[in-house]
Structure 1
Amino acid sequence: MWAIAQMELKKNIHDKGIWFWTFILPILFIIVFVAVFSGQEGVEYAETVTQIIPGYTVMFTFFIMISILITFIKDRERGMVARIASTPISVSSYFLGKWIPFMIIVLLQIAVLFLFGVLVYDLPLGDPTALIVMSLFQAFLATSWGLAMAVLVKTENMGIALTQIIALGGALLGGLWMPIEIMPDIMQTICKFIPQYWGLEGYKEIILHDGGVLDIWQPLAILLVGGAIGVLIAITGYQRYLRLAKS
C-alpha cells in the first residue's frame, strides 16, 4: 500500500496539469471574483471575501476527481490493474495506496488557498482545530467521489464531463457562487441537498462565527455520509473496473 502511495505521490508532484487545476486556476478565480463583487454597491468587502474564498475552495476540491479518474483509467488501459490483481495486494490496500496521495494534495490545496486569503485579503480563519477537521472531511468527500467516478466511467472524456457537472453544477446549486440569501426560495431549499452547500456552511461557521468542532457537527456528518457513499460505490464497482482492465 505505502509503495503504491509513494509512487503515486511522486507522479502527481511532476504533473503540471494537477498544479494548474489545484492551485493556479482557483487563485485566478478568487482574484477575479473578489475584484468584481467587492466593487458592487451595497456589498461589504468582508462579506465578499468570506463568501468567495471558502466557496471557491470547496468548488475546486472536486476538480481532483479529474486527476483521480485519469490515473485509474491509465492504470486500467496499460495493464497495471491486471498485474496488481494477480498479486496478493488486497482491494483496500490498492485503493488506500491510490487515495492517500490525493488526500494530501487536496489538503495542501485547501491550506494554500486559505493562506492566500489570509495574506492577500486578511481572511480570518477562526478555530484552527475546527478548520483542520472540516478540511479533512471536505478532502475525504471530494477524493472518495473521485474514486467512485474512476471505477464507473469507461473513458477519460466521460469522466471529465461528469466531473465538471458535479463541480460546477454543485457549486451553482450549492450557493458557492453567490450568497444563499439572494437566491430564490426554491433554490434555497434545493441547496440543502447539495454536499457543496454544507462544505461552505461549515467553513463559514468557523470563519464568521468562530465555531468549534461541535458547532459544525451537521456539515461534518453530511460530508462523512457523502464520502462513505463514494467509498462504497468504489469498492462495489471494483470488479467491473477489473473486467474492463487490459491484461
Structure 2
Amino acid sequence: MMNAVMIVELKKHVQDKGLVFWIFLLPILFTVLFIAIFTSGVDDATRQEVIQSIVPGYVVMFVFFIMISMVEVFIKDRDKGMTARLASTPLKSYSYLLGKWLPFMFIVLFQIIVLFLFGKVVYDISLGEPIILLILSLFITFTVTALGLAMSLIVNTENMGIAITQIIALGGAMLSGLWMPLEMMPDFMQTIARFLPQYWAHQSFQDAMAGTTQVSELFQTLGVLFAIGLAAFIIAMIRYPYFLKRAVN
C-alpha cells in the first residue's frame, strides 16, 4: 500500500511543470545571473573562487523551496478528502507519511545532482570528493524534506506554508553565508549561522568540492543535519493525528 502511494505521488510530481520550474529552471537562472554579476571585471582566479561558492550556495538555498510543494500536496489531500479516505484503510500512519515523503526525497536528490552537474559542465567547478558530495546530498535531502513534512502537518493553509518557506529559505540563506562570505558578516550573524542547516551543508559542500574535507568536521555536519531531520520527523509524527482531525471526510 505504501509503495502504491509513493508511485502515484512520484508520477504526479514528474508531470508537474510548476515543480520543474522551482527545482531546476529558477535555480539555474539565479545561478547564471548572480555569477555574471559577481564575477564581472574580476580576474580568472577570483572568478573561479566566487563560482565555487555561488554554485553550492544556490544548491543549498533552492532545495528548501521543495517545502512549498510538500505543503501544497498535503493541504490538498486534506481538504479534498484523500487523507481521510486513506486513514479509513489499513494503511498505517507512518506508511502514509513515508509514501508521500519519499518521492520528494528522490526529487530533491535529483535536483542537487542536476545543479552540480550544471555547474561542472557550464562553469567547470571542481568536484574534488564526489562520494562525500553524494553523502552530503543525501543528508541535506533528508533534512529539508523532513522539515517540509513537519511544516505540511502544522500549517493550516498553503499561503502560510509559502510564507514560512520563504523565511526559512531566504532568511537562512542570508544568515548562513550563501549570498556573501560568512567572514564578511557581523559576529552575531556568524553565531546564528551555526544553528542553521544551510550553514553546515554549504561549508561541507565547499570543502568536498575543494577536496579538503576533514573527517571530524564531516561527521559533525552529518550529525547536525541528521538531528534536525530526525527532530522534524518526530514532530510530523506527533502532529499527524491533529492533521487528520482537520481532514475533510
TM-score (norm 2): 0.96
Instruction: Give, as a single letter, the amino acid of the residue that structure 2 aligns with 1:48.
Output: V
| Contact persistence 1:127–1:212 (CA under 8 A) | no
> Kindly, what percent of the aligned residue pairs are identical?
52
Return the offset for 1:96.
Answer: 0.8
Which range moves more in the overlay, 152-161 or 180-189? 180-189
- How is 1:200-239 mapped onto 2 (pairs within 5 angstroms)? 200-211=202-213, 215-239=217-241
Instruction: Count residues with an aligned counterpart.
Output: 247
- How is 1:38-117 mapped onto 2 (pairs within 5 angstroms)? 38-39=39-40, 41=42, 44-117=46-119
For 2:72 and 2:231, locate their aligned partners in 1 and report how far apart those are by CA, in whole Å.
21
Q: 1:126 aligns with which of 120, 125, 128?
A: 128
Q: Alignment partner of 1:154: what SS?
A: coil
Return the offset for 1:218.
Answer: 1.1
For 1:133 and 1:67, locate their aligned partners in 2 and report how far apart those are by CA, in whole Å.
24
| Contact persistence 1:173–1:187 (CA under 8 A) | yes
2:27 alignment partner in structure 1: 26
| Contact persistence 1:205–1:215 (CA under 8 A) | no
Question: Residues 25-72 of structure 1: CA distance to partner in whole angstroms, max 9, x if unpaired?
Answer: 000010011111112558811211111000010010000000111000
For 2:209 and 2:104, locate their aligned partners in 1 and report how far apart those are by CA, in whole Å.
25
Which range moves more in the overlay, 209-218 or 72-81? 209-218
Structural RMSD (CA) = 1.4
| Contact persistence 1:23–1:113 (CA under 8 A) | yes
2:178 alignment partner in structure 1: 176
1:153 alignment partner in structure 2: 155
TM-score (norm 1): 0.97
Question: Residues 77-102 of structure 1: CA distance to partner in whole angstroms, max 9, x if unpaired?
Answer: 01011011111111111111111110
Unmatched tracts of structure 2, length 5 or more: none
1:36 alignment partner in structure 2: 37
For 2:189 and 2:83, locate their aligned partners in 1 and report how far apart those are by CA, in whole Å.
42
- Pair 1:14-2:37 in alignment: no
Q: 1:190 aligns with which of 189, 192, 196?
A: 192
Relative distance call for 1:20 and 1:88 in structure 2 (3 A) is same
Relative distance call for 1:213 and 1:95 in structure 2 (3 A) is farther
Q: Alignment partner of 1:44: what SS?
A: helix
Runs of 4+ deviating beyond 3 Å: 40-43, 212-215
Q: Alignment partner of 1:193: what SS?
A: coil
| Contact persistence 1:152–1:241 (CA under 8 A) | yes
For 1:148 and 1:104, locate their aligned partners in 2 and report how far apart those are by CA, in whole Å.
18
Q: 2:201 aligns with which of 199, 215, 218?
A: 199
Q: Alignment partner of 2:194: what SS?
A: helix
2:139 alignment partner in structure 1: 137
Return the offset for 1:210.
Answer: 3.9
For 1:219 and 1:105, locate their aligned partners in 2 and report how far apart those are by CA, in whole Å.
22
Question: Residues 101-145 of structure 1: CA distance to partner in whole angstroms, max 9, x if unpaired?
Answer: 100000010001000000011011121211111000010011000
For 2:26 and 2:198, locate their aligned partners in 1 and report how far apart those are by CA, in whole Å.
19
Relative distance call for 1:25 and 1:245 in structure 2 (3 A) is same
1:2 alignment partner in structure 2: 3
